[in-house]
Homo-oligomer: A and B are copies of this chain.
Amino acid sequence: MTYRTPIADMLLSLNHGGGLLAAIKAGHYNGFDPDFSAAVIEEAGRFASDVLDPLNRTGDQKGVQLANGEVTCAPGWPEAYKRWSEAGWNAVSAPEAYGGQGLPLAVHAMCNEIWSAANIAFGLCPLLTSGAIEALDAHGTEELKQIYLAKLVSGEWTGTMQLTEPQAGTDVGALRTRAEKQADGSYRLYGSKIFITYGDHDMTDNIVHLVLARLPGAPAGTKGITLFLVPKFLVNADGSLGARNDIFASGLEHKLGMHASPTCTMSIGDKDGAVGYLIGEENSGMACMFTMMNQARLNVGIEGVGIAERAYQQALAYAHDRKQGRAIGEKGERSDPIIVHPDVKRNLMLMRGMTAAARSICYATAVAIDISHRASEESVRTKAAARAALLTPLAKAFSTDIANEVAALGVQVHGGMGFIEETGAAQYIRDARILTIYEGTNGIQAVDLVMRKLGADKGAAMTDLLDELSGIVAKVEASNDPAFGTAGLRLHEALNAVERASKWLLEKIATAPNDALAGATPYLRLVASATGGCLLAREALAAQGDEALHNEAARYVALARFFAETIVVQANALERSVIDGADTINNAAAVLAG
A-side interface residues toward B, CB under 8 Å?
Answer: 8-9, 164, 167, 169-171, 174, 194-195, 220-221, 253-257, 316, 323-325, 328, 333, 335, 339, 341-349, 352, 404, 408, 411-412, 415-416, 418-422, 426, 429-430, 433-434, 436-438, 441-443, 446-447, 485-486, 490, 513-514, 517-518, 520-522, 552, 554-555, 558-559, 561-562, 565-566, 569-573, 576-577, 580-594
**Do A420 and B255 touch across chains, with their CB atoms under 8 A apart?**
yes
**Do B344 and A555 touch across chains, with their CB atoms under 8 A apart?**
no
**Do B171 and A335 touch across chains, with their CB atoms under 8 A apart?**
yes
Q: Find chain B residues with CB under 8 A from A586 CB.
A: 342, 345
Known contacts A349-B584, A584-B565, A420 near B254 by CB under 8 Å = yes
How far is A249 from B577 in the complex, measured between Cα atoms in Å?
51
Q: Find chain B residues with CB under 8 A from A418 CB.
A: 433, 437
Contacts A/B (CB < 8 Å), 17 sampled: A8-B594, A171-B335, A254-B420, A254-B421, A255-B419, A256-B421, A257-B419, A328-B514, A341-B443, A344-B443, A345-B518, A345-B589, A415-B441, A485-B584, A562-B581, A569-B573, A569-B577
Q: Give min CB distance, A534 to chain B, whole Å.
A: 17
Q: Give min CB distance, A78 to chain B, whole Å.
A: 25
Give the residue among A257, A342, A572 with the most B Cβ atoms within 10 A. Answer: A342
Partner of A433, one of B333, B426, B437: B426
Q: Give min CB distance, A323 to chain B, whole Å.
A: 7
How far is A581 from B569 in the complex, measured between Cα atoms in Å?
11
Known contacts A346-B518, A518-B346, A562 near B576 by CB under 8 Å = no
Known contacts A565-B576, A565-B580, A581-B565, A416 near B438 by CB under 8 Å = yes
Q: Find chain B residues with CB under 8 A from A558 CB.
A: 584, 587-588, 590-591
Closest to A338 in B: B170
Q: Give min CB distance, A399 to chain B, whole Å.
A: 16
How far is A442 from B581 in the complex, measured between Cα atoms in Å?
29
Closest to A316 in B: B592
Give the residue among A195, A438, A573 with the most B Cβ atoms within 10 A. Answer: A573
Partner of A412, one of B316, B352, B422, B436: B436
Across the A-B interface, give the 7 residue pairs with the lowest CB-CB distance, nearest first: A343-B443, A342-B518, A342-B517, A256-B426, A562-B584, A345-B588, A565-B580
Q: Give min CB distance, A570 to chain B, whole Å.
A: 4
Known contacts A255-B419, A441-B412, A559 near B404 by CB under 8 Å = no
**Do B316 and A256 touch across chains, with their CB atoms under 8 A apart?**
no
Copies of this chain, complex-wide, total: 2
Known: A171-B324, A343-B521, A345-B586. 8 other contacts (CB 8 A): A256-B426, A342-B520, A344-B443, A348-B592, A418-B433, A558-B588, A559-B591, A566-B581
Partner of A221, one of B171, B333, B345, B517: B333
Q: Give min CB distance, A530 to chain B, whole Å.
A: 13
How far is A446 from B253 in the complex, measured between Cα atoms in Å?
40
Q: Find chain B residues with CB under 8 A from A422 CB.
A: 254
Q: Give min CB distance, A380 to chain B, whole Å.
A: 34
How far is A320 from B455 in the complex, measured between Cα atoms in Å?
29
Q: Give min CB distance, A402 to chain B, whole Å.
A: 13
Known contacts A328-B517, A485-B583, A591-B349, A415 near B170 by CB under 8 Å = yes
Q: Find chain B residues with CB under 8 A from A520 CB.
A: 342-343
Closest to A9 in B: B594
**Do A588 and B256 touch across chains, with their CB atoms under 8 A apart?**
no
**Do B588 and A348 touch across chains, with their CB atoms under 8 A apart?**
yes
Q: Give min CB distance, A181 to chain B, whole Å.
A: 24
**Do B352 and A592 touch across chains, with their CB atoms under 8 A apart?**
yes
Q: Find chain B residues with CB under 8 A from A447 CB.
A: 343
Q: Give min CB distance, A581 to chain B, whole Å.
A: 5
Closest to A591 in B: B555
Partner of A347, one of B195, B346, B443, B513: B443
How far is A343 from B580 in the complex, measured between Cα atoms in Å?
14
Known contacts A256-B430, A590-B554, A419 near B437 by CB under 8 Å = yes
Partner of A581, one of B346, B555, B592: B346
